[in-house]
Structure 1
Amino acid sequence: MTKVKPKRKKILKWLLGISLVLITGLIGFYFSVYWGFWEPLATKEQLSDIRQSEATEIFAADGELLGKYFIFDRQPIDFEEIPKHLIDALVATEDARFYEHNGVDRRSLLRVIFKTILLRNESSGGGSTISQQLIKNLYPRQDHGIFSMPVSKTRESILAVRLEKIYSKEEVITLYLNTVPFGDNTFGIESAAEKFFSKTAQELTLEESAVIVGMLKASHSYNPRLFPERSKLRRNVVMNQMKKYGYLTEEQYQIASNTPLELSYTPYSHNQGTAAYFRANLRKKVQSWLKDYNDSVGTNYNLYTSGLKVYTTLDYGMQKLAEESLTEHLTQLQSDFEQSYGQQAPWYRNKDILKDAVYKSNVYKKLKDKGLSEKAIQDSLSVKHNIELWDWAGKKLVKASALDSIRHYTKFLNAGVLSVDPFAGEIKAWIGGIDYEHFQYDHVSQSKRQVGSTFKPVVYATALEQGIEPCKFYSARQVTYTNYNNWTPVNSGTPDYDKRYAMKSALANSVNTVAVKVMEDGGIENVIDLAERMGIESEIPQVPSIALGTASISIMELAKAYTSFLNMGKPSTPYFIKRIENSNGEVLAEFQPKVAEEPVFSESTRLAMLEMMKGVVNEGTATRLRWKYGLKNDIAGKTGTTQDNKDGWFVGITPRLLTISWVGADDYRIGFRTTAMGQGANSALPIFGLLQQKMIAQGGFERYTDAQFPPPSIAIQNMMSCATEKKTGVLNRVFVNNSKPKVTEFDYTPETAEPKKKEGILKKIGNIFKRKDKKKKKKRGS
């Protein structure tokens, strides 16, 4: 017995010693975290001034939320805007004793230590209070090796207690719900409500609140968009917790748990959603403005974190209809385009097209940057695996190589659409391409393509300004320019070169040979000068082919030029930002229209050109707007098709809206196989036709669809009153060889038809008697 007692004492001493060491170590560890040995802890002052990054919101002209720019999609709201059932769901699920503890729930903490650490039972939960989770969201965990978890948990406990000495329980709840991460890169309850249910947090139902709270356990695994069934089960778990803690009755739970899960998902990513190309250009514009503003004022506003509000000119409803119109038309046109080529398609037969596309691809550039040889790169690009490919039917998972993917995207026709208020220059709709995720090159602002016959109104307006009448007749005969590489303009379709066209009819039917002669009469230098004054900044070469639109011009430039025909001859610069506000609603900048002070041509020229472009729609190349799309509203316009059917254009002009559409392949070596398919009337015009149809059918656009052009004056009617075409005799083609690009006339002199003169009532009566006298004389002679 005397030998056992010393042993027991010795063991007790060892246990006491170890306990003291452990307790001392734990205390030391605690204070090492408290004093910031592992990492600095937020001070009371820092916790008192919690500022979280806020997404910049973009609004359409009617106040509709168009999109956001964000690092984390977060939009703060006040406690009063959070529905009570959402708070109840949060507390019941995440922190049942939230209103009882001071930031750390010691009971839950002991449960976690005992069950999770000692018994290895993961069903005990995380043990973190809402306040601790908030700290984790505000100050992300850092890596400290094997001590990472103890350090993080201790730090969060210390700061949670510190936090609750500063903020009330209501404020903690508000801070938490404004910062907590949800699925799809969304932070904060307001952004989550907008994204998953297209409503504000205040409008969320009990079931919707339970879905959102359910995502807190695992935002990806319980994402209702990705895993609806799993999300519904988790939703019901949340509501069961609410029943358990007395927030719901059994009956309320039964009704709610049997309610179907219904989403109204609104993506606010940079690459998806309505007006993706517009938002991408807007982002560049605002960033550039912010840099200058911050430098000049000394502020530090950030596009992604400062919660700015950008108000734009875009018409949300029109934008959506324009995108629908483009999708509807291009879906069918792409199918026809591919069928017309079959296996003879250039993206199959022309190896240079694929090779160039490969060199431009991101995947090739990344492999090249790794220092791989060309053979190794090609081998890697040829490996087949599961990849997602987009087409007009949607996305699909296929077994294909990177080369297959590159070839797949090379075949697509692309498009650009821009609708502008011609008086102020406000952009109402903007589509830079067919799908921003896969085709990020913007054909509205970045692309310059040959504009084809859409340039002819500039040529004809120049001629009118030089005193040439719309009724002057021109022969459609061809002319060869020996001093311009023997260039000979040709007319499309089945041309009748023996006809003579009045200038107004030549424009309506887009007669190329006449357009060049009209330009010669107006003066090529005068044409270029007028084009520049109308707003075209791209270089226009001084060659006769510019009359047919061989100059490369952007949609934006062309839109500015055409506003002249509606805005009293004064070009309006297209713009798209109205004002920018900070997160407190203070206006940082307002943007005003930029309209030329003086008209670039006379009012009579403007009105005559409108009448001539009405003829394009009513009797010329754009008549399908009437017979196919059934449009009866006032429309003028101009079609355009470039050489070898590479580009199709249409400019649609209504009294209060100007719309330009373009269609073509990104690679200029790929064109339409036939003119019937590639002409602007078939490739680009239908987008405008469908847009007008949809605007009329939906309603709410009467300002644009019901507007009428003012009736032409008597002077304009007399100016336009003449026959449209005449037949000529057989003419010999003459070749020119002089220094000026002058059109050579044939063996006749172009004539101007005399306008039909209106007879007065007395003269009409006198003519009746004259005709009777003539009849009597004929009878006498017979």
Structure 2
Amino acid sequence: MEKKPAKKDKKRGFGKYIKWFWGLFFGGIALAGLFFLLASWGLFGTMPTFEVLENPQTNLATEIISADGKTLGKFYLNDNRTPVSYDELPDHLVKAVVAVEDERYFKHSGIDARGTLRAIVFLGKKGGASTLTQQLAKQLFTEKVSNNIVARVIQKMKEWIIAVRLERQYTKEEIITMYLNIYDFDNMADGIRSASRIYFGKEPGDLKIEESAMFAGMLQNSSYYSPVRRPELTQRRRNVVLRQMEKNDFITEQEKDSLQNLPIKLNFNRESHREGLATYFRMYLQGFLKDWTSDPENRKPNGDKYNIFLDGLKVYTTIDYRMQKYAEEAVSEHMKKLQAEFFHQNTPDRNKTAPFLGLTQEEVDATMESSMKRSERWRKMRDDLDKSENEIRESFKKKTEMTVFSWDGEKDTIMTPMDSIRYYKFFLRTGMMSMEPQTGHVRAWVGGINYKHFQYDQVKQGARQSGSTFKPFVYATAIDQLRMSPCDRLPDVQHCVEANKYGNAKPWCPKNAGGKYTGRMLTLKEALAKSVNSITATLIDKVGPVPVSQLVKNLGVESDISPVPSIALGTPDFTVYEMVGAYGTFANQGVYVKPVMVTRIEDKNGTVLFESVPETRDVMSDEVAYTTVKLMEGVTQSGSGARLRGNWAVNNTFYKEIVTGYPYEFTNPIAGKTGTTQNQSDGWFMGMVPNLVTGVWVGGEDRAIHFRGIKYGQGASMALPIWAVYMKKCYADKELGISKEDFREPEDLSIELDCSKVPISGEPEEGDFEEIDF
């Protein structure tokens, strides 16, 4: 009887433990709930507000989009990110990510209880507990913390809270899209769009299953599983993803086995500011956008300036991706062969002052000195490092390791900075621009041979003497003012403009090439085709240099043009940009349209911030424009541009060996003009068909860098081949719709163009004149 109270006491003692257990259990839950509540209130660090969750902030690159809808490049600082929508993601990419990262992704609400319990029990050895939503929360809203266990627990709680909020705010499709858009895939591949373009050269929607599996595998650690640095390891990780896809019935076992045997085939292209397509144009565009964002009228709704590197603008340009590619190919193909000949002519035994011609050693030294002081190295050492002039000079004499440009690829070498300046002066430069004259839309822009090594843009920055490409402006003025016809004839004799007649202090008596004069009566069409200086001098004497100068200004040329007679032979300096805009007026029935490069700018949400408005003006009548075009057609029929035709000097060894793409065999109407300046320092070709005007310039960095003779140094040899190769590529692409038709004739044409109706005597023999202008 005495034991019963003991039993009762024992039960009471056991009940006390039960109470403690439940007390601790519910207390732990309450404490955890309190911690979560305090964390959600921001006690352990700032938490995103509802507004921030609605619009999570990430740095977005500005995207440059071509007229045919392709990405030309991007502007960014550290984050090369351009978002895509869920509809742009291939289904197998989503399945690959879910299979390897979060199998129950579409079943949980942000936190996977089963995964969390498994991670606790097995201490993470059988997989982590983070869901895709938690990983997104970590990427978007939480910062890295130390290995302190308390800090890590708080971090995890914050991730859980944000994950739940994200699940309430967004759909599953939106969450996985945000995650793939924000993830850093290494090598400046921020987000799946950049990664697809950089690693495989394609858009996400074009990815294959095995490529999607590779990206899904990289989500574990993109730096470690890098297909560039560790291809074998990345392939093994990709195969793990494929096995998971088969396990989740996303692919069949047969598909898994087949795909796992495939190697990783990259098409790796870094999206660098200095590499890729249209680099010179993109750098021009960067300046355009900086000016645009600096305008107080172009501001965000809150008054802040747009940041072209962070705000995700979309810039729609007029550049056609295909035509830009053809233009760059044409430049590379011809310039590589032309450069080889230039090197051949400038070996030490042939030219002791190479690459300079006609300079004394003192003049060469002065030129090199000037180039040294203009170099970026000099500027940085002077301004950033605060070095003395003597220290800077000495640094230019010390040999150093460097990577230099060559037409066979970059070369690692050791040379002094001074030697590298001279090395780069050997390379001929070029500028090319192609424009649709009716709209002013610029379709291709090539500012040089390689932006990484030659950053001076020869399209918009590089003004050079225009040579004979100026002559059509003189002819157009004569047609307009004197109602002259291409069939009108003038004597080919030396013509002198009297002293002081147009402000010239001395008589101006230009010579024909080689000092040759036939003494014959030449039609204007023949004279322009053969680029006869005596006829051009006669014409500018008849109309005066002031009207010619004014016409050129009306054609959009911004360079200063002194109204003196010598401008007739192309002494003023013009840019390729100016020349193409001016020539476009002839093809556009006398209406000047200012070149357009940007059609529209949008913010990251698609709101239109800018739309271009064409700038046009009537400069000349359609009759004058058409007559000038017909004059320039003669250049490609019987003048220096006749080598565009298939029947021109078929057996010409020079063109077969040196000039790319010859014979060209164009049969359609082409209006054009070559230009060559004194000592062959500049070679030009301006070529037009009804819906495309293209200008090309080739020359050295300095005027003393040039070919020794006219054979290689004239515009027909240096510049015309680039135009021809480019046009052949454009015509081969039928989708571009480049015209082969005649130029449109005005309805009320009154100027006689058919010279067969006018008897012509004393026609000069083919080859009487070589084109060279002073």
Number of equivalent positions: 690
Going from structure 1 to structure 2, the CA distance change for 1:389 and 1:137 (only over 3 Å counts) comes to farther
Provide the rounded CA distance (Å) in 1 between the counterparts of 2:121 and 2:213: 26
**Residue aligned with 1:167, SS:** helix
Cα displacement string for residues 129-183 of structure 1 (whole angstroms, at most 9, x for unaligned residues): 54454344324746x8xx4765874453132111222123555433221211012
1:656, CA displacement in angstroms? 1.8
Match of 1:580 among 591, 601, 604: 601
2:162 maps to amino acid: L
Match of 1:690 among 693, 704, 725: 725
Match of 1:371 among 386, 391, 394: 386
Establish whether residue 303 from structure 1 lines up as the match of residue 308 from structure 2: yes
User: 1:717 — aligned with what?
Assistant: 753
1:378, CA displacement in angstroms? 4.4
Provide the rounded CA distance (Å) in 1 between the counterparts of 2:679 and 2:492: 24
More moved, 570-579 vs 213-222: 213-222
Provide the rounded CA distance (Å) in 2 between the counterparts of 1:93 and 1:404: 55
Q: Do the aligned residues in 1 keep the contact of 2:492 with 2:517 (CA within 8 Å)? A: no
Q: Do the aligned residues in 2 keep the contact of 1:474 with 1:503 (CA within 8 Å)? A: no
1:699, CA displacement in angstroms? 2.5
User: 1:137 — aligned with what?
Assistant: 139
User: 1:65 — aligned with what?
Assistant: 71
Q: Do the aligned residues in 2 keep the contact of 1:41 with 1:155 (CA within 8 Å)? A: no
Establish whether residue 417 from structure 1 lines up as the match of residue 454 from structure 2: no
Cα displacement string for residues 507-538 of structure 1 (whole angstroms, at most 9, x for unaligned residues): 11112233222211111222212222222222
Q: Do the aligned residues in 1 keep the contact of 2:53 with 2:166 (CA within 8 Å)? A: no
Going from structure 1 to structure 2, the CA distance change for 1:724 and 1:460 (only over 3 Å counts) comes to farther
User: 2:767 — aligned with what?
Assistant: none
Provide the rounded CA distance (Å) in 2 between the counterparts of 1:155 and 1:298: 35
Q: Do the aligned residues in 2 keep the contact of 1:480 with 1:489 (CA within 8 Å)? A: no
Cα displacement string for residues 400-450 of structure 1 (whole angstroms, at most 9, x for unaligned residues): 444443333222111111111112212122112222222222222222111
1:126, CA displacement in angstroms? 8.1
Provide the rounded CA distance (Å) in 1 between the counterparts of 2:120 and 2:150: 17
Provide the rounded CA distance (Å) in 2 between the counterparts of 1:321 and 1:625: 18
| Map 1:519-538 → 2, pairs under 5 A | 519-538=540-559
Provide the rounded CA distance (Å) in 2 between the counterparts of 1:140 and 1:323: 45
More moved, 439-448 vs 83-92: 83-92
2:753 maps to amino acid: Q
User: 2:194 — aligned with what?
Assistant: 191
1:457, CA displacement in angstroms? 0.9
**Residue aligned with 2:453, SS:** coil
Provide the rounded CA distance (Å) in 2 between the counterparts of 1:658 and 1:319: 14
Provide the rounded CA distance (Å) in 1 between the counterparts of 2:572 and 2:606: 45
Going from structure 1 to structure 2, the CA distance change for 1:78 and 1:463 (only over 3 Å counts) comes to closer
Going from structure 1 to structure 2, the CA distance change for 1:507 and 1:708 (only over 3 Å counts) comes to closer
Establish whether residue 646 from structure 1 lines up as the match of residue 681 from structure 2: yes
User: 2:282 — aligned with what?
Assistant: 279
Establish whether residue 55 from structure 1 lines up as the match of residue 61 from structure 2: yes
2:545 maps to amino acid: I
1:652, CA displacement in angstroms? 0.4
Structure-2-length-normalised TM-score:
0.80
| Map 1:365-764 → 2, pairs under 5 A | 365-368=379-382, 369-467=384-482, 468-470=484-486, 471-477=488-494, 479=496, 484=505, 488-493=509-514, 495-496=516-517, 498-596=519-617, 598=618, 600-626=619-645, 627=648, 628-706=663-741, 708-710=743-745, 715-717=751-753, 721-723=758-760, 725=762
1:346 maps to amino acid: A
2:354 maps to amino acid: P
1:693, CA displacement in angstroms? 1.6
Provide the rounded CA distance (Å) in 1 between the counterparts of 2:251 and 2:431: 54
**Residue aligned with 2:410, SS:** strand
Provide the rounded CA distance (Å) in 1 between the counterparts of 2:712 and 2:81: 47
Stretches of structure 2 that go unaligned for 5 or more consecutive residues are 1-27, 649-662, 765-774
Stretches of structure 1 that go unaligned for 5 or more consecutive residues are 1-22, 116-123, 728-782
Q: Do the aligned residues in 1 keep the contact of 2:197 with 2:269 (CA within 8 Å)? A: yes
1:69 maps to amino acid: F
1:386, CA displacement in angstroms? 4.2
| Map 1:9-158 → 2, pairs under 5 A | 40-43=46-49, 46-71=52-77, 72-79=79-86, 81-94=88-101, 102=111, 106=116, 130-139=132-141, 141=143, 147=146, 153-154=152-153, 156-158=155-157
**Residue aligned with 2:739, SS:** helix
Cα displacement string for residues 475-518 of structure 1 (whole angstroms, at most 9, x for unaligned residues): 33264877646765232357346555333322111122332222
Provide the rounded CA distance (Å) in 1 between the counterparts of 2:227 and 2:379: 37
Establish whether residue 315 from structure 1 lines up as the match of residue 315 from structure 2: no
More moved, 430-439 vs 705-714: 705-714
2:572 maps to amino acid: A
User: % of aligned pairs identical?
Assistant: 37
Going from structure 1 to structure 2, the CA distance change for 1:259 and 1:572 (only over 3 Å counts) comes to same
Provide the rounded CA distance (Å) in 1 between the counterparts of 2:735 and 2:277: 19
Going from structure 1 to structure 2, the CA distance change for 1:202 and 1:429 (only over 3 Å counts) comes to closer
Provide the rounded CA distance (Å) in 1 between the counterparts of 2:128 and 2:537: 80
Establish whether residue 346 from structure 1 lines up as the match of residue 354 from structure 2: yes
Cα displacement string for residues 11-66 of structure 1 (whole angstroms, at most 9, x for unaligned residues): xxxxxxxxxxxx9xx99999999887886444565344313233333322222333
Match of 1:356 among 370, 382, 390: 370
User: 1:766 — aligned with what?
Assistant: none
1:708, CA displacement in angstroms? 4.8
Provide the rounded CA distance (Å) in 2 between the counterparts of 1:81 and 1:132: 23
Structure-1-length-normalised TM-score:
0.79
Q: Do the aligned residues in 2 keep the contact of 1:473 with 1:500 (CA within 8 Å)? A: yes
Provide the rounded CA distance (Å) in 2 between the counterparts of 1:640 and 1:413: 17
Provide the rounded CA distance (Å) in 1 between the counterparts of 2:195 and 2:276: 16
Provide the rounded CA distance (Å) in 2 between the counterparts of 1:248 and 1:455: 67
| Map 1:197-216 → 2, pairs under 5 A | 197-216=200-219
More moved, 277-286 vs 321-330: 277-286
Provide the rounded CA distance (Å) in 2 between the counterparts of 1:444 and 1:241: 54
**Residue aligned with 1:580, SS:** strand
**Residue aligned with 1:560, SS:** helix
2:404 maps to amino acid: L
Provide the rounded CA distance (Å) in 2 between the counterparts of 1:540 and 1:141: 61
1:643, CA displacement in angstroms? 1.5
1:388, CA displacement in angstroms? 2.3
Cα displacement string for residues 226-281 of structure 1 (whole angstroms, at most 9, x for unaligned residues): 65445334322433455577766654332111113223445543322222222222
User: 1:770 — aligned with what?
Assistant: none
Provide the rounded CA distance (Å) in 1 between the counterparts of 2:244 and 2:419: 51
**Residue aligned with 2:433, SS:** strand
Q: Do the aligned residues in 2 keep the contact of 1:651 with 1:658 (CA within 8 Å)? A: yes
Q: Do the aligned residues in 1 keep the contact of 2:111 with 2:130 (CA within 8 Å)? A: no
Cα displacement string for residues 293-326 of structure 1 (whole angstroms, at most 9, x for unaligned residues): 4349655544333333322222222221111111
More moved, 700-709 vs 337-346: 700-709
Cα displacement string for residues 594-625 of structure 1 (whole angstroms, at most 9, x for unaligned residues): 221x3x33444333322221111111111111
Going from structure 1 to structure 2, the CA distance change for 1:154 and 1:432 (only over 3 Å counts) comes to farther
**Residue aligned with 2:708, SS:** coil
Q: Do the aligned residues in 1 keep the contact of 2:589 with 2:623 (CA within 8 Å)? A: no
Q: Do the aligned residues in 2 keep the contact of 1:347 with 1:354 (CA within 8 Å)? A: no
1:648, CA displacement in angstroms? 0.8
Q: Do the aligned residues in 2 keep the contact of 1:451 with 1:640 (CA within 8 Å)? A: yes
